[in-house]
Amino acid sequence: MTVLDVESVPFAHTEITPGAVAAATRVLQSGWVTTGPEVLAFEREFGAWVEAEQAVAVSSCTAALELALRAFALPVGSRVLISTLTFCGAAHAVVHAGLVPVLADVDERTQMPSARTTAEACTRAGGVAAMVVVHLGGHPAPVAELTAAAGLRAERVVEDAAHAVGSYDHGRHVGSASAATCFSFYATKNLPIGEGGMVTTADPDLAATMRRARLHGMSSDAWRRYLPGGSWRYSVEAPGLKANMTDLQAAIGREQLTHLAAWQNRRRALADRYDRGLAELPALALPARPADGGHAWHLYAVRVLTQDRDVLVGQLAAAGIGTSVHFIPLHHMPYFRAMCAAPEELRTADLVATQLLSLPLHPALTDRQVDRVCDVLATHLAARVVAPSTPIQRSTS
């Protein structure tokens, strides 16, 4: 290891285990690389891990969200409530499903919509037909409470669990309080494959609809038509997407899944270490912890209260520490701004968007690296808090 490797702290890291590399090689050499038996096995194993009855593997979480919303068969142009503080892909899924996003403001402490901001956004919009609930950073959102606040039934709610593999609510893995729950296997997510997604549901009819829709709308198990003895016949009864998962991805996912529990333990330990290391810095608000649930710790996002966040980002970068911001509010993007609620109605999101700072968090992070991030933060933040009028400090912001 070079000195730079010891000192620098990358924001994210994609770990592909030796077992996953071997599994990928095995699939590549097998002659069957697209959707097939590995996908079926991954659906079974992932479904068991998150305690879901049905699991449908797809090409991304974005595709999962679109498939779930399409499966609701709402009239074109129906309104769908979504947090303004989420990834743009989730809102694009709403648009591509033929629906219109309605943006909800967030709670300052959790940075997710609360029952109050949900009800307010729904009233302003004159009601919504469906809702996407995000478990931001891995903090389980109170899905049932938000569903009631939106005046919806659980059958019209989709959970965006891109951050929430390993999140628990009242002792159960997230995903049982809505019609469909969408997971991501993107390179930086808690269960990395590179690309990929899964949608889980307890409703076999919804699962069957999404299974067809993920592969051109062709009748179920269309992939089998190239197997020996498979039939070439198929039917199409609805417009489908090309959003199937490949056996190559699934084989990697199956191997990675065997490490997930250990990775989640490590994420928890790292979050605890950040909490201890940053507890004495009043300049930071540390991430909220769920009252009765398990945080998946996809992100460790602090809020910078007394100093310019972007200056601090630069100071951390100069020290070799990678950071990110989750997220730029959707209403700050020209495309969504033109389509959605007026910006002055999303004030808390505007405020926290200037404060949020995601620190490095991934299972390969060492205790020493976490301590270094805490030390560098203390150096820059303590100076400002103790001597707010020091001219040298002021000139840096």
Task: Please list the active-site residues.
Answer: 189
Name the minimum Å distance from CB 159 to ligand PLP: 10
Longest dimension (CA), the chain: 79
186 in contact with ligand PLP (CB under 6 A) = yes
Among positions 130-169, residues that touch ligand PLP (CB under 6 A) are 134, 160, 162-163
Which residue's CB is nearer to ligand PLP, number 62 or number 118? 62
* Contact stretch for ligand PLP (CB under 6 A) within 84-92, 108-116, 260-268, 281-289: 84-92
274 in contact with ligand PLP (CB under 6 A) = no
Name the minimum Å distance from CB 61 to ligand PLP: 3
Name the minimum Å distance from CB 166 to ligand PLP: 14
Stretch 13-52: interaction string toward ligand PLP, x if CB under 6 A: ----------------------------------------
Name the minimum Å distance from CB 41 to ligand PLP: 20
358 in contact with ligand PLP (CB under 6 A) = no
86 in contact with ligand PLP (CB under 6 A) = yes
* Contact stretch for ligand PLP (CB under 6 A) within 60-68, 96-104, 249-257, 269-277: 60-68
SS (H, E, C) the chain: CCHHHHHCECCCCCCCCHHHHHHHHHHHHHCCCCCCHHHHHHHHHHHHHCCCCEEEEECCHHHHHHHHHHHCCCCCCCEEEEECCCCHHHHHHHHHCCCEEEEECCCCCCCCCCHHHHHHHHHHHCCCCEEEEECHHHCCCCHHHHHHHCCCCHHHEEEECCCCCCCEECCEECCCCCCEEEEECECCCCCCCECCEEEEECCHHHHHHHHHHCECCECCCHHHHHCCCCCCCCCECCCCCECECCHHHHHHHHHHHCCHHHHHHHHHHHHHHHHHHHCCCCCEECCCCCCCEECCCCCEEEEECCCCHHHHHHHHHHCCECCECCCCCHHHCHHHHHHCCCHHHCHHHHHHHCCEEEECCCCCCCHHHHHHHHHHHHHHHHHHHHCCCCHHHHCCC
User: Among 240, 243, 215, which Cα is nearest to 63's?
Assistant: 243
Given candidates 72, 87, 263, 336, which one binds ligand PLP under the rule CB under 6 A? 87
Which residue's CB is nearer to ligand PLP, number 189 or number 303? 189
Which residue's CB is nearer to ligand PLP, number 139 or number 309? 139
Among positions 190-229, residues that touch ligand PLP (CB under 6 A) are 197
184 in contact with ligand PLP (CB under 6 A) = yes
Task: Give the count of residues interacting with ligand PLP (CB under 6 A).
Answer: 14
CA 351 to chain CA centroid, Å, is 22
* Contact stretch for ligand PLP (CB under 6 A) within 59-67, 170-178, 288-296, 334-342: 59-67
Name the minimum Å distance from CB 391 to ligand PLP: 41
- What is the C-alpha separation between 54 and 38, in angstroms, rounded? 16
Q: Give residue 65's identity as a one-letter amino acid code.
A: L
249 in contact with ligand PLP (CB under 6 A) = no
- What is the C-alpha separation between 93 and 177, in angstroms, rounded? 21
Name the minimum Å distance from CB 73 to ligand PLP: 22
Given candidates 35, 54, 60, 246, which one binds ligand PLP under the rule CB under 6 A? 60
253 in contact with ligand PLP (CB under 6 A) = no
* Contact stretch for ligand PLP (CB under 6 A) within 86-94, 208-216, 227-235, 272-280: 86-94
Q: Are 180 and 97 in contact (CB under 8 A)?
A: no
Which residue's CB is nearer to ligand PLP, number 197 or number 277? 197
Name the minimum Å distance from CB 67 to ligand PLP: 12
Name the minimum Å distance from CB 296 to ligand PLP: 12
- What is the C-alpha separation between 324 and 115, in angstroms, rounded? 28
The residues binding ligand PLP (CB under 6 A) are: 60-62, 86-87, 89-90, 134, 160, 162-163, 184, 186, 197
